[in-house]
Amino acid sequence: MGTASARPVANKYPSAHVLKIHGRLFLIDCGEGVQLQLSRYGFSHVKIDRVFISHLHGDHLFGCFGLLSTMALMGRTAPLYIYAPGRFSEILAFFMKHFGEGVVFDIIHVPLTSTAPEIVFEGRSVEVSAFSLNHRIETFGFLFKEKEPARNIRKWKIESDNLTLSEIGTLKRGEDVVRADGEVLKVEDFTYIPYKGRSMAFCSDTAPFPELASYIRGVDLLYHEATFAEDLVDMARKTFHSTGAQAATVALEAGVGRMVIGHFSSRYRDPDVILKEAQAIFPATELAREGMKFDIPLVRYPAEAK
C-alpha cells in the first residue's frame, strides 16, 4: 500500500502492507492514506482481520484514526486486535475519548514486548511472531508462518495393508499405529505432508544488527526497509535505518528465498539505484511499488509412486 518513508512524496504513500493468508487479511503498519489505498486495490476496510504496527513513528501510524473511524461507519461489529508497542495504549485511549463515539466493536491492544521471536498470535492456519529491531525507538519486526498442513494418507496403502478408518485417522494425526499383534505402522511410511508451509518476514525501520539473520532464517519472502543507497550510509547509521546493500546482506546471511525492499527516502526520485546495489549482493531482490502484489507459490509434495 505504501513505499515511502517519513516525508510526503507525490504518488507515494507511507508504510502500509496487506498480507493475505487463507482468505484472512492482516494489515502491517498503518501509514497516512491507507484507507484510500485499501479502496484503490479492492480490500474491504471491515475485513481487515488484525493490525500489526511496527513502531510509533507517524509514517507507520497516522492512518490508524481514520481507519478505525471508517470501520465504525461501515458497521463493523467484530473485535479488532492491534499488535503494537506498549505506548500505543495511550494513543488508543485518546482516540476513544475524542473520536470513539459510534465505535461499537471492541479494539484490543496486544502490547509487544519480546526481544527474540515470540508468538503473539496463533490461528488455525498461521502463527505470527514479533521480535525487536534496532531503531531509534522501540520497534518490532514480524514473522508470519503458515502452519504445517494435516498429513495425507498414501491411498494405495489403505488396501495393501487393510487399514481401518480408525487407523487412518490415527496416522493422519501424525501418530504411529500399534496393532494387536504388535505390528507397528509408521507415520512416515503411510502418510506424507501435502505441501510446504510458507513464511514471510517483515522488517521495518532498523539498522543492521547481528541477530536479525537468525530471526528470519529461511523465510520464503522477506520485506526489508531500504531507506538509503550507499551514498548516504552515514545518514542510515545516524538515523538507525538500512541501505539496500545492508538489507541484501541480511537476506544473504539468512538464506531467504527472495526479498522485497521499500521505505525509500524522498531524496531518491528513482529508487532503482537502491535496487541495483541490493541486487549486486542478493540478486533475488525486488523493488516495492504502490499496488504491487507478491505471491508466495505453494510447493506441493507428491505422494510417492506405488
Give the whole-number percent of the chain exceeding pLDDT 70. 99
pLDDT of residue 122: 96
b or e along 32-71 (b: 16 or more beta carbons within 10 Å of the residue's beta carbon)? bbbbebbeeeebebeebbbbbbbbbbebbbebbbbbbbbb
pLDDT in tens, 169-179: 999 888 999 99
Residue 264 in domain: yes
Q: Do 89 and 198 lie in a common domain?
A: yes
- CB-CB contact of 39 with 47 (8 Å): no
Residue 255 backbone class (left: φ over 0; alpha: ψ -120 to 50; beta: rest): left
255 and 176: one domain? no
Q: What average pLDDT does range 183-210 have in this prediction?
A: 93
Q: What pLDDT does residue 71 have?
A: 95
Indicate whether 156 and 23 sit together in one domain: no
67-71, 161-165, 281-285: least confidently modelled range: 161-165
CA dist 158 and 2 (Å) reads 52
Q: Rounded to whole angstroms, how far apart are CA atoms 282 and 76?
A: 43
Q: Are 54 and 122 members of one domain?
A: yes
pLDDT in the model for residue 304? 67
For residues 301 and 283, the model is more confident at: 283
How confident is the model at residue 270, as a pLDDT? 87
Of 284, 120, 140, nearest in space to 212 by CA = 140
Residue 168, domain extent: 152-191
In this structure, are 135 and 201 located in the same domain?
A: yes
Same domain flag for 246 and 135: yes
Instruction: Give the CA distances from residue 36 to residues 17, 40, 51, 60, 283, in Å, rounded to whole numbers and listed in that order.
Output: 13, 6, 17, 15, 33
Residues assigned a catalytic role: 59
Q: Of all helices (H) and strands (E), which one includes residue 127? A: strand 126-132
* 302 inside domain: no
Q: What is the mean pLDDT of residues 43-56?
A: 95
Within a domain: 30: yes
Residue 11 maps to a domain:
no
Same domain (yes/no): 131, 43: yes
Q: Is the pLDDT of residue 188 over 60?
A: yes
Residue 61's H or E segment, with its range, is none
Average pLDDT over residues 36-57: 95
pLDDT of residue 148: 84
User: Quick check: 303 pLDDT over 80?
Assistant: no
Q: Is residue 83 part of a domain?
A: yes
Nearest CA-CA partner of 25 in 95, 102, 80, 75: 80
Number of folded domains in the chain? 2
Pairing between strand 126-132 and 140-146? antiparallel
Q: Residue 306's pLDDT band (boundaries 50, 70, 90)?
A: very low
Residue 305 lies in a domain: no
Same structural domain for residues 99 and 218? yes
pLDDT value at position 247?
98
Residue 305: is its pLDDT beyond 60? no
Task: Judge if 248 and 267 occupy the same domain.
Answer: yes
204 and 264 part of one domain? yes
Among 175, 191, 207, residue at a domain's last position: 191
Q: Is 3 part of a structural domain of the chain?
A: no
Domain annotation covers residue 306 = no
* pLDDT tens string 225-280: 999 999 999 999 999 999 999 999 999 999 999 999 999 999 998 899 999 999 99
